[in-house]
Amino acid sequence: MSLRLGDDAPNFQAKTTAGDIDFYEYLGNSWGILFSHPADYTPVCTTELGRTALLNEEFAKRNVKVLAVSVDPLDKHFGWVNDINETQNCTVNFPIIADEDKKVATLYDMIHPNASATATVRSLFVIGPDKKVKLMITYPASTGRNFHEVLRVIDSLQLTANYSVATPANWEGGEDVIVVPAVSTEDAIKKFPKGVKVIKPYLRYTPQPNID
């Protein structure tokens, strides 16, 4: 059965460019991103891993650990990393799984036979510190991911995990958020001292609560 939001993220052990890992141990108490790539030495994947490496500080300040997966072997990964570093002006400093037996790809349903019988689609999973699946995004092999959107979603997930709020369409960090329906307006006024703006009884905005 396919994974769904809120499910436990399957644990696994794997060989990576950073040595053997246990996924849960690697994550520890951090958030995690697990994302798949159709193959090494492919152009879109090269730009994606380069972009991820260049965003290392952004992921670190959000307490997010990144882990990539490809069904190619380790020796191929190491050669590819050299190409990524050279062409994308970066240093790839996160592990890339050598998933030759497709164990991880199968656990996370990354191979879609109608798209390709052998290559993974561009699946991306955000895993919470509780090891639950918080987000799933799947792109076709031909479309590179938007990592600004990945960071935006992580900001939303981390905010909404700790406060009784949701984020509206096109929300960016620092903008007003929505009070969730489970909180009454009376309680919201007490809970959010920066103020509550009532548009409709079910649509109430408040300034982002975790910034000054």
The string of pLDDT tens digits covering residues 6-47 is 999 999 999 999 999 999 999 999 999 999 887 888 899 999
**Which stretches does DSSP call E strand in the chain?**
13-16, 19-22, 31-36, 64-70, 96-98, 122-127, 133-139, 165-166, 177-179, 197-200, 203-206
pLDDT, tens digit, 9 for 90 and up, residues 145-203: 899 999 999 999 999 999 999 999 999 999 999 999 999 999 999 999 999 999 999 99
116 shares its domain with 179: no
The pLDDT > 90 percentage for the chain reads 75
- Note whether 38 and 136 are same-domain residues: yes
Domain count for the chain: 2
CATH of the domain at 186: 3.30.1020.10
The structure's pTM equals 0.90
**Residue 86 and residue 122 share a domain:** yes
Q: Measured between alpha carbons, how far is 101 from 71 in angstroms, rounded to an integer?
A: 7
CA separation, residue 147 to residues 47, 51, 153, 163, 204 (Å)? 11, 8, 10, 24, 29
Q: Is residue 4 part of a domain?
A: no
| Same-domain status, 119 and 43 | yes
Q: What is the pLDDT of residues 88-144, one digit of tens each?
A: 999 999 999 998 888 898 899 887 655 454 555 578 999 999 999 999 998 887 888
Q: Using a CB cutoff of 8 Å and minimum separation of 24, what contacts does 23-30 make?
A: 23/67, 24/131, 26/65, 26/67, 26/95, 27/65, 27/127, 27/129, 27/131, 28/65, 29/129, 30/63, 30/64, 30/65, 30/129
In a domain, 30, yes or no: yes
The answer on 109 and 38 residing in a single domain is: yes
Q: Verify that 118 and 189 share a domain, yes or no.
A: no
Separation of alpha carbons 145 and 48, rounded Å = 7
Distances, alpha carbon 156 to alpha carbons 162, 176, 212, in Å: 10, 12, 17
Domain that holds residue 188: 163-206
End-to-end CA, the chain: 44
Q: In Å, how far from its chain's centre is CA 73?
A: 23
Tell me if residue 90 is catalytic: no
Catalytic residue among 9, 14, 33, 45: 45
